[in-house]
């Protein structure tokens, strides 16, 4: 079994966000970058579990410049077998999905895993696009995966309950909480990652369908108003006139 895990570089959640070039570019100055948590904690770790239980080979792929290599090296340290970096820098989801799909078609994977979304743009669309471009079925926001031969049984949380889906491999799956438990790379994995293959491949021709016009920060939060516990009338007035929640 061959598995491909899509890895995205994202800012750490504690990073201070700022923009440059008249608010058209994200400033990376002083920002610590990490593996997108949904890609690492759920997609990658579930793939590694299948490697341990079913002898799967786990490949990793990212689309980005050389600055993404420390991130994908960490994914190798967790247990990935081989990594690919498409040498292109783009924030356009269709372009990124096109690069992943082109590689996937050449390699013939049984499962393509993505996280349910990235924590920077929250797009949640790479998995569906990769599925469309490769002609594979897609199951989104899966919280559990069981395999029986070439049949995958997946569970998804839906409004008011849970949905169980069966699909034949190959398949594209986006993963959310519940799919697996997070892991921490050990020293052996970190040392081994230095010698594992990380191949740089040139991008295929693909369109950029979207572009970033500008960024802006949310408005600053107003100061907290303290209301005496016995002043219910004032509390109700503020909730109605200022907070507008009643």
State the DSSP code for 99. H
- pLDDT tens for 85-138 read 999 988 899 999 999 999 999 999 999 999 999 888 888 899 999 999 999 999
pLDDT at 189: 66
**What's the number of domains the chain is made of?**
1
Is 133 inside a domain boundary? yes
Q: How many helices (H) and strands (E) does the chain have?
A: 7, 13
Q: Are 71 and 60 in contact (CB under 8 A)?
A: no
Note whether residue 228 is domain-resident.
no
Report how far residue 12's alpha carbon sits from residue 186's, in angstroms, rounded to the nearest whole number: 21
- From 152, 155, 117, select the one nearest 38 (Cα to Cα): 117
Query: 186: how many CB neighbours lie within 10 A of its CB?
Result: 12
Q: Is 243 domain-assigned?
A: no
Name the pLDDT band for 29 (thresholds 50, 70, 90): confident
Report the pLDDT averaged over residues 220-245: 83
pLDDT of residue 1: 93
Residue with tokens 């979304």: 117
Whether 229 maps to a domain, the answer reads no
pTM, 2 dp: 0.84
Establish if 241 belongs to a structural domain. no
Question: Is 205 contained in some domain?
Answer: yes
Q: Is residue 111 part of a domain?
A: yes
240 part of a folded domain:
no
Residue in 238, 10, 189, 232 with CA at minimum distance from that of residue 117 = 10
**CATH code: domain of residue 61:** 3.40.50.620
Distance in angstroms (rounded) separating the CA atoms of residues 10 and 240:
39
Residue 237 has pLDDT above 90, yes or no: no
Query: Percentage of residues in the chain with pLDDT exceeding 90?
Result: 56
Assess whether pLDDT exceeds 80 at residue 239. Answer: yes
Provide the 3-class DSSP secondary structure of residue 62.
strand
pLDDT digits (tens, 9 = 90+) for 44-56: 999 999 999 999 9
Owning domain of residue 15: 2-218
User: Tell me: the pLDDT tens digits for 151-205?
Assistant: 999 999 888 888 999 999 999 999 999 998 777 766 676 667 777 888 999 999 9
């Amino acid at each position: 079994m061959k598995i491909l895990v899509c890895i995205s570089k994202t800012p750490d959640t504690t990073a201070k966000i700022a923009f440059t070039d008249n608010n058209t570019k994200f400033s990376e100055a002083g920002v610590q970058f990490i593996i997108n948590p949904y890609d690492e904690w759920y997609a990658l770790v579930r793939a590694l579990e299948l490697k341990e239980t079913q002898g799967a080979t786990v490949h990793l792929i990212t689309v980005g410049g050389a600055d993404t290599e420390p991130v994908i090296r960490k994914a190798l340290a967790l247990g990935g077998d081989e990594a690919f970096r498409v040498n292109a820098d783009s924030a356009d989801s269709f372009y990124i999905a096109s690069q992943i799909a082109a590689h996937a078609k050449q390699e013939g994977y049984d499962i393509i895993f993505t996280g349910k979304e990235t924590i920077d743009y929250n797009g949640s669309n790479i998995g569906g696009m990769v599925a469309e471009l490769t002609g594979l079925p897609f199951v989104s926001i899966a919280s559990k995966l069981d395999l029986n031969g070439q049949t995958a049984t997946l569970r998804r949380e839906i409004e008011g309950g849970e949905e169980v889906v069966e699909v034949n491999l190959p398949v594209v799956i986006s993963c959310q909480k519940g799919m697996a438990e997070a892991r921490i790379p050990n020293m052996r994995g970190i040392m081994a990652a230095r010698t594992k293959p990380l191949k740089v491949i040139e991008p295929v021709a693909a369109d950029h369908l979207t572009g970033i016009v500008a960024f802006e920060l949310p408005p600053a939060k107003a100061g907290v108003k303290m209301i005496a516990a016995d002043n219910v009338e004032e509390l109700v007035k503020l909730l109605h006139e200022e907070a507008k929640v009643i």
